[in-house]
Amino acid sequence: MAKVIKKPKSPATPAPASSAGKVPKKGGVKVAEESGSRNAPIINIGIDRQDRAAIAEGLSRVLADTYTLYLTTHNFHWNVTGPHFNSLHAMFMTQYTELWGSTDVLAERIRALGHYAPGSYAEFSKIATVPDVPQTPPKAMEMVRILVKGHETVSRIAREFIPVAEEAGDDPTADMLTARCTVHDQTAWMLRSLLEE
């Protein structure tokens, strides 16, 4: 009688990619709760579950910083005074409008990865790196200085997560984060130019 050789069963879940678990953290706060229900099929977009969680966590941090920067910019639009009022009022409106639109793109990418997007002040305050808007409106050029730092911070945070997305094969997220860095770098340069004499 011939001996039957059984093939080993392939694991139900593929081995985690090299980026699994390599998430830059901020204070160990867990964000990006996984969504879904028993009625929906399991997400199968070619990105490992652990990698999707890591990417969603990174995007949640970028979202929190972007929203905080949006709120600061909108506040400065309302409260700017002085001889540069007209130009800064208009510039801040252009900037906060762009930031507002980007929050939706970031949140929807988190959802596409199978996680809930954070969306409360409490959640954002735990994970944001950009400081909250000052309670007393600063002078116009101090507003500009604060916004330069804010845009540079968001750009740095986004850059931290580009390799995480790339290692997981998540080109859409890597491309989106690269585009966000381009916007933030250019905006920081334009604002910084106002401070040069």
Q: What is the pLDDT of residue 63?
A: 98
Rg (CA), the chain: 21
Residue 31 has a pLDDT of 53
- Which pLDDT belongs to residue 32? 53
Domain ranges of the chain: 49-195
pLDDT along the chain (197 residues), means of 10: 43 40 46 61 85 95 98 98 96 98 97 94 95 95 98 97 96 98 98 91
Handedness of CA 41, 38, 16, 102 (dihedral sign): positive
**156-159 LR contacts (CB < 8 Å, sep 24+):** 157/61, 157/62, 157/65, 157/129, 158/62, 158/184
- Say what the pLDDT of residue 41 is: 76
CATH architecture for the domain at 49-195: Up-down Bundle (1.20)
pLDDT of residue 133: 94
d(CA 156, CA 150): 10
7: DSSP letter: P
DSSP letter string over 49-110? HHHHHHHHHHHHHHHHHHHHHHHHHHHHHHH--STTHHHHHHHHHHHHHHHHHHHHHHHHHH
